[in-house]
């Protein structure tokens, strides 16, 4: 499974990249707005740090403007994945950009039917939002299961399932069990995977016992 960081924080991105745990980055208009930085230079900077795909989202909703924005974003770096909404216009843009060799992340997916359309349009990634479905008392992980099952039936489709709106480590673990290709989440959620009280307790005991030996490895 690939780990994408859903953030525009350069320090967090550098930390994860240096750890070897980071496979890519996703951004959206909300994340960019919170950063307070200029969009295009920020995407360029992130692309220079991260070797994997960096999702940069178009800001318009009509086809004519979206395709112009998408082509401009694609020119920033080879690892840009243009992010488009799962709408008729967005899928039209997806098809055109994909045919030109540009990575495309189709976002705001909430049904298996939508995921089928994205795969047929040539999407590199489909981003189903599990957390937002959970917020409505719907089963976000069931959607991931359905999409993975459908995609497995059609090996000619190369669209990767990118689980988005991840709220906690259980979302990551369940997505991995279902065979999702990618999860994207805030760096804080990725770091939560380290946490277990027995690990902390065991390490404390080992450190204490080692001190009692009076030895040093160095």
What pLDDT sits at residue 117?
A: 98
Least Cα distance to 112 among 80, 51, 154, 62 occurs for 154
Own/partner contacts of 105-111, CB < 8 Å, gap of 24 or more, are 105/26, 105/53, 105/55, 105/81, 105/162, 107/28, 107/55, 107/57, 107/83, 107/164, 109/147, 110/143, 111/143
Contact 218, 210 (CB under 8 A): no
What pLDDT sits at residue 208?
A: 96
What pLDDT sits at residue 41?
A: 97
Query: How many angstroms from the chain centroid is the CA of residue 7?
Result: 9
Residues facing residue 55 across a β-bridge: 26, 81
How many CA within 13 A on the CB side of residue 56?
Answer: 26
What pLDDT sits at residue 27?
A: 97
Q: Could you give the CA distance from residue 190 to residue 21 in angstroms, rounded to a whole number?
A: 9
* 10 φ/ψ angles, rounded to the nearest 5 degrees: -65, -40
Residue 141 within a domain: yes
Q: Which domain holds residue 30?
A: 2-213
What pLDDT sits at residue 52?
A: 98
What residues of the chain score a pLDDT lower than 50?
none
CATH code (residue 203): 3.20.20.70
What pLDDT sits at residue 163?
A: 98
- What pTM does this model have? 0.94
What pLDDT sits at residue 185?
A: 96
Q: What's the total number of domains in the chain?
A: 1
Residue 112 within a domain: yes
Residue 218 within a domain: no
Catalytic residues: 83
**What secondary structure letter does DSSP report for 36?**
T
What pLDDT sits at residue 95?
A: 98
Residue 137 within a domain: yes
Regarding beta strands 103-109 and 80-85, do their DSSP bridges make them parallel or antiparallel, or are they unpaired?
Answer: parallel
């Amino acid at each position: 499974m690939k780990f994408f960081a859903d953030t525009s924080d350069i320090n967090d991105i550098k930390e994860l990249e240096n750890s070897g745990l980071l496979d890519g980055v996703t951004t959206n208009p909300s994340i960019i707005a919170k950063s307070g930085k200029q969009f295009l230079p920020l995407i360029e900077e992130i692309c220079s740090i991260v070797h994997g795909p960096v999702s940069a989202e178009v800001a318009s909703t009509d086809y004519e403007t979206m395709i112009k924005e998408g082509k401009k974003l694609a020119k920033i770096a080879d690892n840009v994945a243009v992010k488009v909404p799962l709408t008729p216009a967005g899928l039209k843009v997806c098809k055109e950009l994909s045919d030109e060799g540009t990575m495309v992340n189709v976002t705001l997916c909430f049904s298996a039917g939508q995921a089928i359309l994205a795969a047929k349009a040539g999407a590199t990634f489909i981003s189903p939002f599990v957390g937002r479905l959970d917020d409505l008392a719907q089963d976000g992980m069931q959607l991931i299961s359905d999409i993975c099952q459908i995609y497995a039936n059609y090996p000619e489709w190369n669209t990767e399932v990118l689980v988005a709106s991840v709220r906690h480590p259980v979302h990551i673990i369940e997505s991995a069990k279902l065979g999702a290709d990618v999860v994207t989440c805030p760096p804080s959620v990725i770091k939560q995977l380290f946490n277990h009280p027995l690990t902390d307790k065991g390490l404390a005991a080992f450190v204490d016992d080692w001190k009692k030996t009076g030895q040093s490895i160095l």
